[in-house]
């Protein structure tokens, strides 16, 4: 029987207020107080998962160990809490309906009319407690995507209302996050949008327990009082979430605001200990006081939307702190690199990362960047498609295999250096069918990868359909690009590197997905280290 306490986080006024960061920050403090906490996200869109969404549409698709393609907020949960999430941590409306419709086809509703209420809401509630069934958690935080008042979030809000009523307010609470805008011309913070948002939630039958106000300016006592009065809240349950220069500062702000205290009071919990946030404080302190600075080029085709590369950006922050170094990112649109004078975009750069991706657009630009890095001994890190491009570049320009390519871009290439995996060949269904999730990788002794990991057995997360074509491995290795990481069962090439180069590493997996504040990813740490070395020699 389930026994965790549940905290729901809803949002109002606008989207993008940072519900994921608030949920992660609260979870972090509760974790530091000795609770076992997890976070799950319920998204109100109809896709079964974000796996089929264009990154421009929804930002990065985050992948879990168990191979779920999920919302990028799960990346924040993992980076803050340093514990893995899973398939059960991200549920969409599409998945809920899919489950209900499948059950209907199996006759599970015994001739009844299947309706949003109670069948969809029951299915939502069943999913609220799925992680509870593992018995691993004291507290489960559930972020409800979208804004209160959106038509598509209604069933979720109704499910929260019922769930709270059924379990009682000492077991279930609701935190509502809103915006308190500052009107420059009036020189005033405005509470009205928040009042309306809480009113809307109340109309749906939910009185929030805590209001968190995203704001540019500090909330005065007067403003807090006003919000408390008109939103029907205790004065100390109006919490300020002032803009910060780093998301990693938010747990400390929430702790100052005593968010954890309020939550524990509401849920009638006694914490095993006071929060020890020393390691976190040190991280933030260090982050704000770098001793060095480097600039790396992030070459990709979705660079206009930085969220498309969220985990890479965060992994650079973690690795940077480890080196007491600020990592500036120069966003380079790979398509521009193929134009004339293209290389000026890479001028005086300390390192080049070629990003993951799909499809043909921007490929030649990525290959141009890789050639530049290889020939000029500039630290290079290729991730997934970035690694595949590095192999193609090597085949074309070192081995002299003219027109070599990945069959993803060129079906009839004479040199299919990168080819569709055997078990992908007959697949027609798109969602959830790539090589997904954690796979073992054996690292070769005395390589850059070995030096970085300091281990010969690792596990990393994947999301791809194409692979290095082993038919060419011998030729690659004798010409100077070696395989330094191999899947022990399938023999798929997972890491390639050029030993004679300052730092040239490509990975078929996505190391960025496993970088956390507590455990910066070893390859990012290695890459940043090489970039620093390079910048000192420059």
Residues known to be catalytic: 384, 510, 512
- CB nearer to ligand GLN: give 169 or 424: 424
- CB nearer to ligand GLN: give 309 or 466: 466
Judged by phi (left if over 0) then psi (alpha if -120 to 50, else beta), residue 484 lies in alpha
- Find out whether 469 and 418 touch, Cβ atoms under 8 Å: yes
Q: Cβ of residue 408: shortest distance to ligand GLN, in angstroms?
A: 5
- Find out whether 268 and 248 touch, Cβ atoms under 8 Å: no
Q: Cβ of residue 379: shortest distance to ligand GLN, in angstroms?
A: 20
Q: Cβ of residue 463: shortest distance to ligand GLN, in angstroms?
A: 5
Q: Cβ of residue 523: shortest distance to ligand GLN, in angstroms?
A: 15
**Cα–Cα distance for residue pair 408/362, rounded to 1 Å:** 13
Rg (CA), the chain: 25
- Find out whether 219 and 238 touch, Cβ atoms under 8 Å: yes
| Number of other residues whose CB lies within 10 A of the CB of residue 13 | 22
**Cα–Cα distance for residue pair 306/195, rounded to 1 Å:** 32
- CB nearer to ligand GLN: give 357 or 511: 357
Q: Cβ of residue 513: shortest distance to ligand GLN, in angstroms?
A: 11
- CB nearer to ligand GLN: give 249 or 356: 356
Tokens representing 331 are 């966003």
Q: Cβ of residue 362: shortest distance to ligand GLN, in angstroms?
A: 12
Report the chain's terminal Cα–Cα distance, integer Å: 62
Beta-strand (E) ranges in 351-443? 351-354, 380-383, 405-406, 416-420, 435-443
Q: What angle do CA 309, 313, 318 make, to 5 degrees?
A: 145
User: What b/e readout covers 117-154, taking b as 16+ CB neighbours within 10 angstroms?
Assistant: eebbbebbbebbbbbbeeeebbbbbbbbbbbbbeeebb
> What are the backbone dihedrals phi and psi of residue 489, each rounded to the nearest 5 degrees, phi first?
-90, -55
- CB nearer to ligand GLN: give 64 or 127: 64
Side-chain-side CA neighbours of 24 within 13 Å: the count stands at 23
């940043």: which residue's tokens? 528
- CB nearer to ligand GLN: give 356 or 511: 356
- CB nearer to ligand GLN: give 18 or 356: 356
| Number of other residues whose CB lies within 10 A of the CB of residue 420 | 17
Q: Cβ of residue 44: shortest distance to ligand GLN, in angstroms?
A: 26
For every residue of 90-113, DSSP letters joined together read EEEHHHHHHHHHHHHHTTTTTTPP
Helices (H), 362-519: 363-375, 385-397, 448-453, 473-479
Q: Cβ of residue 266: shortest distance to ligand GLN, in angstroms?
A: 42
**Cα–Cα distance for residue pair 362/370, rounded to 1 Å:** 13
- CB nearer to ligand GLN: give 21 or 385: 385
Q: Which residues bind ligand GLN (CB under 6 A)?
A: 356-358, 384-385, 408, 463-466
């Amino acid at each position: 029987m389930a026994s965790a306490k549940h905290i729901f986080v809803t949002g109002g006024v606008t989207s993008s207020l940072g519900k994921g960061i608030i949920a992660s920050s609260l979870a972090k403090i509760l974790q530091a107080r000795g609770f076992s906490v997890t976070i799950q996200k319920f998204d109100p869109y109809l896709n079964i998962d974000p796996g089929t969404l264009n990154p421009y549409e929804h930002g990065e698709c985050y992948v879990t160990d168990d191979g779920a393609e999920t919302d990028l907020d799960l990346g924040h949960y993992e980076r803050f809490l340093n514990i893995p999430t899973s398939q059960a941590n991200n549920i969409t409306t599409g998945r809920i309906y899919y489950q209900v419709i499948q059950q209907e086809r199996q006759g599970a509703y015994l001739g009844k009319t299947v309706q949003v209420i109670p069948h969809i809401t029951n299915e939502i509630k069943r999913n609220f407690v799925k992680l509870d069934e593992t018995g691993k958690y004291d507290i489960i935080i559930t972020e409800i995507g979208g804004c209160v008042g959106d038509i598509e979030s209604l069933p979720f809000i109704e499910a929260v209302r019922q769930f709270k009523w059924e379990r009682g307010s000492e077991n279930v609470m609701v935190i509502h996050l809103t915006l308190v805008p500052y009107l420059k011309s009036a020189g005033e913070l405005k509470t009205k949008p928040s009042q309306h948002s809480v009113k809307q939630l109340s109309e749906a039958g939910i009185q929030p327990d805590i209001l968190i106000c995203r704001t540019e300016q500090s909330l005065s006592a007067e403003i807090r009082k006003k919000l408390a009065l008109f939103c029907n809240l205790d004065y100390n349950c109006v919490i300020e979430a002032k803009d910060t220069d780093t998301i990693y500062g938010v747990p400390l702000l929430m702790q100052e605001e005593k968010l954890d205290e309020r939550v524990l009071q509401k849920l009638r919990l006694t914490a095993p200990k006071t929060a020890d946030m020393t390691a976190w404080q040190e991280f933030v302190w260090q982050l704000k006081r770098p001793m060095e600075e480097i600039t790396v080029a992030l070459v990709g085709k979705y660079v206009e939307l930085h969220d498309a590369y969220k985990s890479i950006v965060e992994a650079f922050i973690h690795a940077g702190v480890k080196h007491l170094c600020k990592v500036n990112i120069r966003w380079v649109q790979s398509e521009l690199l193929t134009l004339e004078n293209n290389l000026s975009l890479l001028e005086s750069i300390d390192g080049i990362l070629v990003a993951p991706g799909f499809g043909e657009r921007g490929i030649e630009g990525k290959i141009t960047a890789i050639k530049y890095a290889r020939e000029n001994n500039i630290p290079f890190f290729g991730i997934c498609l970035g690694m595949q491009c590095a192999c193609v570049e090597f085949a074309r320009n070192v081995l002299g295999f003219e027109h070599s390519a990945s069959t993803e871009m060129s079906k009839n290439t004479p040199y299919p250096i990168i080819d569709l995996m055997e078990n992908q060949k007959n697949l027609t269904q798109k969602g959830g069918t790539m090589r997904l999730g954690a796979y073992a990788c054996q690292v070769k002794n005395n390589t850059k990868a070995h030096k970085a990991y300091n281990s010969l057995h690792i596990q990393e997360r994947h999301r791809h359909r194409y692979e290095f074509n082993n038919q060419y491995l011998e030729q690659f290795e004798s010409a100077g690009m070696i395989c330094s990481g191999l899947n022990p069962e399938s023999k798929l090439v997972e890491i390639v590197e050029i030993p004679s180069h300052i730092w040239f590493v490509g990975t078929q997996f996505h190391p960025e997905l496993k970088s956390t504040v507590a455990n910066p990813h070893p390859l990012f740490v290695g890459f940043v280290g090489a970039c620093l070395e390079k910048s000192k020699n420059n």
